[in-house]
Structure 1
């Protein structure tokens, strides 16, 4: 039995929604990977640490985000300060 046009539209919309979810999940994974790599390098390199700390302070404007970053910002500041002392 042939499907109605409404059924075909619903099936196509469901497929589109699944593809959009996969795309969003892929973008999220990419952000996590990049963030992990940049954070790891920043904790080793004072120049990157300074840049990352300044960038985070400038761009993380929501209070909830700022609270989440307190520990990382402290670590980055320590890496930058350690280089300044040597």
Structure 2
């Protein structure tokens, strides 16, 4: 039995929704990977730690996000200070 136009539309919309989910998941994975690389690198290189901490302080404006990043910023500050003590 042939599918009705409405059934075809519903199937196409469902397929589009699945593709959008996959796209969003891919974007999220990329952000996680890039963030991990940037943080790891910054924690090893004091100048980059200083720059990343400054960027986060300047760019992260939502209070809930600032609270989430407070520990990381402190860790970056400590990594940046190691250069001054060496």
TM-score (norm 1): 0.96
Deviation at 1:11, TM superposition (A): 0.2
Match of 2:12? 12
Whether 1:80 and 2:80 are equivalent positions in the alignment is yes
Structure 1 residue runs of 4 or more that deviate by more than 3 Å after TM superposition: none
SS in 2 for 1:43: helix
Aligned length: 86
**Aligned match of 1:55:** 55
Q: Distance in 1 between matches of 2:73 and 2:40?
A: 13
- Residues 28-84 of structure 1 show CA distances to partners (whole Å, capped at 9, x for unaligned) of 000001101110111000111011101111111110100011111111111111112
Normalising by the residue count of structure 2, what TM-score does the alignment of the two structures yield?
Answer: 0.96
Gaps of 5+ in 1: none
Paired with 2:64 and 2:79, the residues of 1 have a C-alpha distance of 24
Instruction: State the distance in 2 between where 1:51 and 1:27 align.
Output: 25
DSSP-derived class of the 2:44 partner: coil
Match of 1:71 in 2: 71
SS at match of 1:52: helix
